[in-house]
Amino acid sequence: MGKRNNGGGKGGAGKSSKAMKYLIKADLKVNGNVQRKDIIGAIMGQTEGLLGDDLELRKLQRTARIGHVDVEVKSSGGKVNGEILIPSSMDNVETAIIASSLETIDRIGPCAAKIVVKEIQDVRSTKVNAVIDRAKDLLLEMVNSGDAATKTVIEEVRSVLTVGTAKNYHGLTCGPNVESSDALIVVEGRNDVRNLLNFGLKNAISCDGAGTIKQELIDLAATKETVILAIDGDRGGEMLFRQLNETMKIDFVAQAPVGQEWELLPQKTATKCLSQKVEAAKFAAKLPEDKPSEDPEAWLEDDVAAEAPAEVHEYFDHIADLKKNNAVFVNVDGTISDAIGPSKLAAAAEEADGAVAIVFNGAVSDRILDIASEAAIETVVGTKEGKGFSKRDDVKAWLTEKHA
C-alpha cells in the first residue's frame, strides 16, 4: 500500500483537535493510473455544490467538522485500487449524507472510477468496546485475587458484561475459560455455574455434588495457581468441602450466607462471598466435629421431610391447574410451558432449553427422574413417590404429600 496523504485540505490543520465521532471508510477502483492528489481533487471538486453550502467539504474542513481526507492506493496492471478515509465530528445524519455523496463520483481525471462506502465506523463505540473488554479481564483478576477495594467499580462494570455460554468438561458443566484461566472456581451443580456465568465469571466448574469426584477435575485443579471452592451455606456445603479437601487441591473456600445457595445468589452477594474467601486450612479448623448419628440414615430422612423452598411452593400451585399425569416445564425466566401429556414428556424435555423444573400432576416414577436427568433439569415436582422412585444426586424431587 502506498503512503497516506494527509493533505486533504488547507484550512483545518489548526483546528484538528476537535474530537471525531465517526470514520467514513470507502473502497476506490479507478480504471487507469491516477495519483492521490487527483483523487482528493475529484472528491473536493465533484461534491462541491452538490449538497449546498452547509455541507461543502472545504468549508467543513475549515471548521474542523470534517478531518483531512486520507487515501491509500495501490497500482497494478494500469489500474488503481485503494481506500478513502474521512473522519467526521458531525452527527450521524450529516455524516451519512457526506458518505453517500462520495458514491456520486464516477470519474477521476480522464479515468472511469467507482467509489463504494463500506462502513461508517463509530469511533466512540470502538473505544467503549475496548474499555468493556479490558474491564472484563480486570474484573476477573480482582475477584480471583480477592482485591475488592473498589466494589462500586466492580458493580458498574458487571452491568455490561456479556453472559458466557456453559461448556462441558469431561461431563462436568463449566464456563468457557476453565482450562485457560490461572484460577478455578469449583461449585456443586450446573445451575451454580450458570449463575456465575450471568455475572461474567467464566472459570467455574461443577463437581456434580457429593459422590465420586472425577479424576479429570482433580487433575485440572492440580494445574491451577488458585482453586476456590464455592459451597452453599448449609450442612451439605460443609460436607462437600470435607470430601473435596481430602481428594483434590483446594486453596480457598467461599461459602454462601447461611441457608443460601450459589445458584440463587444475586450478583452483589456472590462477588462479596468470593472476595471474602477463606484459606482452606482455616475454614477446616473452624468446622465443628462431624459426629456420627446413632442412625446413619437419619439425616437422609430429615432431608426428605425438609420444608420446600419458596419457589417450590410456587411450583406446587401449578399442579392444581394440570390434568392428571400431565406436566409443564418451568423456565429459568419464570415462564411456564403449555401442558404436555405423559407420552410426549421425554421428547419435549429434550427440546426444553432453559427449563429448570418439571411440574407433574402425578406420582414421580424412576422414568420421570430419568427424563429430567437426561435433559439436565435438576428439579422435579409431583404428588408422591411412584414406581422405582429413588433419591438422586443430579435431580431433586419435591412431593406434595411430604413437602407441601
Which is more confident, 239 or 1?
239
Nearest to 115 by CA among 69, 61, 51, 76: 69
Q: Tell whether the model's pLDDT for residue 308 goes beyond 80.
A: no
- Position 333 scores a pLDDT of 78
Average pLDDT over residues 294-299: 45
Q: What is the pLDDT of residues 393-403, one digit of tens each?
A: 888 899 888 87
A 10 A CB-CB count for 2 gives 13
Q: Is the pLDDT score of 162 beyond 50? A: no
Place of cell 467503549: 128
Strand-pair category, 167-169 with 107-108: unpaired
**pLDDT band with cut points at 50, 70 and 90 for residue 84:** very high
**Average pLDDT for residues 330-340, to the nearest whole number?**
87
- pLDDT class of 154 with cuts at 50, 70, 90: low
Q: How far apart are CA 189 and CA 264, in angstroms?
A: 12
Percentage of the residues of the chain whose pLDDT score is greater than 70: 84
Q: What would the pLDDT profile of 260-291 be if each residue is shown by its tens digit?
A: 989 889 988 898 899 899 999 999 888 876 55
Res. 209 pLDDT band, cuts 50 70 90: low
At 364, is the secondary structure helix, strand, or coil? strand
Q: Strand 111-122 relative to strand 22-30: parallel, antiparallel, unpaired?
A: antiparallel
Q: Which residue, chain included where needed, has cell 462477588? A: 271
| Strand ranges inside 252-352, DSSP E | 252-255, 278-279, 327-331
Alpha-carbon gap, residue 3 to 402, rounded angstroms: 79
Confidence of residue 5 (pLDDT cuts 50, 70, 90): very low
pLDDT tens sequence across 350-392: 888 888 899 999 999 888 998 988 888 989 999 988 888 888 8
Which single residue is written with the C-alpha cell 449546498? Answer: 52
Lowest-confidence segment of 42-56, 95-109, 365-379 by average pLDDT: 42-56
**Using CA atoms in the order 236, 241, 242, 248, what is the torsion angle rounded to 10 degrees?**
140
Q: Which residues contact 342 (CB under 8 A, 6 or more apart)?
A: 325, 326, 327, 362
Cα separation, 189 vs 209, whole angstroms: 6
Domains present along the chain, CATH in parentheses: 13-122 (3.30.70.60), 146-286 (3.40.1360.10), 298-403 (3.40.140.20)
Q: What is the pLDDT of residues 227-244, one digit of tens each?
A: 999 999 888 888 889 889
pLDDT on residue 252: 95
320-330 tens-digit pLDDT: 889 999 999 98
Q: Are 214 and 189 in contact (CB under 8 A)?
A: no
* Pairing label, strands 355-360, 379-382: parallel
pLDDT digits (tens, 9 = 90+) for 113-141: 999 999 998 888 878 888 888 887 787 77
**Would the pLDDT of 292 be above 80?**
no
β-strand pairing of 226-231 with 252-255: parallel
